[in-house]
Amino acid sequence: MKALNLYGIQDLRFEETPAPSIEHDDDIIIKVKAVGICGSDLSRYKKLGPYVPGMTFGHEFAGEVVKIGRSVTGFSIGDRVAACPTYTCGQCRYCQLGEPTRCERLSVIGARHPGAYAEYVKLPAKHVIPLPNVVNYDEAALIEPASVVAHGFYRTNIKPGASVAIMGVGSIGLLAVQWAKIFGATTVFAIDIDEQKLNVANQLGADVLISSLQRPAHKQILEYTNGIGVDVAVESAGTPSTSAQVFALPKKGGEVVFLGIPYADVQIERFYFEKIVRNELHVYGSWNALSSPFPGKEWATTIHYMSSGQLNVAPMISYRLPLAKGPETFQQIAKGELKPTKVLFYPEKLSERK
């Protein structure tokens, strides 16, 4: 089969790769119909390199069941599915406590297991999730990142009527705008320096658009909230600067949840750090999209709200491309020549897609 394999920093190759085969009784092999670029993929490509040189990359996907192990029940050939790409050990302290996202040996396909930038991918049956007919493959490829954002909101104590500020409205931030509304927010502030992203945020439900290019975001937030601040601030830009600035957005006793990963040292000015202490903020890290029982409520909740239309991911998809264009697309994004919200790749020919 054809796949995208990462050999080193900015060394991504579209090449012939052995197709997966049934090795365990609970294996399911899925024909990949759509697979998306994750921000973590871009960081691996541009800065960090692979965990295992030559590993097939990618983990945000949906597809069709083509083979099943002999002990698999509940799935049949031809089923439309998404999948949780994350492996946990099931044995460590955190797994035993029912906290799988904190697993000491947590891993994701595309890291140490072959990923989904390929014609076919294999996962254990417990990872595989049936799709309702109303959710198409393109939408289903975003179930994983949407579940990641849902996990972050479950970490907070958000209540109906809350005000929420989203710092950075790339793909994760745009999902956060919608989850904030689903979790009961009446006012959602979308913050970015990119007017186009802010326009999409408005389309997806943001109530107030804030460009932080000319004036600090926190000063604008305070003006809108009569000097109080918001109940919950979400860091979804994943930059060193916004990872500090986000502390100035919540009210006293408010909450900050980190969804972004800056992949660089974060230098926090005294002004921002003192907000944590003096305002007695609650600060949450949020990692992956798992809870117990595996893979967790995040996945079922995401599919429910996609099915109802309250979680709308279609406006986030910037490009739909054949998988063969993977190497040049990653290169263009790394160079800043392409600035998409979300790219989807199709391993099969566009003319063959159902």
Closest-CA residue to 100 (of 314, 294, 272, 352): 294
Residue 253: the pLDDT is 98
Residue 349: the pLDDT is 62
Q: Hey, what are 23's tokens? A: 């090795």
Residue 263: the pLDDT is 85
The pTM of this model reads: 0.96
| 102-119: pLDDT as tens digits | 999 999 999 999 999 999
Closest-CA residue to 59 (of 131, 17, 114): 114
Q: Is the peptide bond before 262 cis (omega within 30 degrees of 0)?
A: no
Say how far apart CA 44 and CA 21 lie, in whole Å: 27
The fraction of the chain above a pLDDT of 90, given in percent, is 97
Confidence category of residue 227, pLDDT binned at 50, 70, 90:
very high
**Domains contained in the chain, CATH given:** 2-142+313-352 (3.90.180.10), 149-285 (3.40.50.720)
At residue 92, the 3 state secondary structure works out as coil
Mean of all residue pLDDT scores within the chain: 96
Does 353 have pLDDT greater than 80? Answer: no
Q: Hey, what are 321's tokens? A: 């491309």
Residue entry with tokens 């954002």: 149
Say how far apart CA 126 and CA 26 lie, in whole Å: 8
Contact of 245 with 166, CB cutoff 8 Å: no
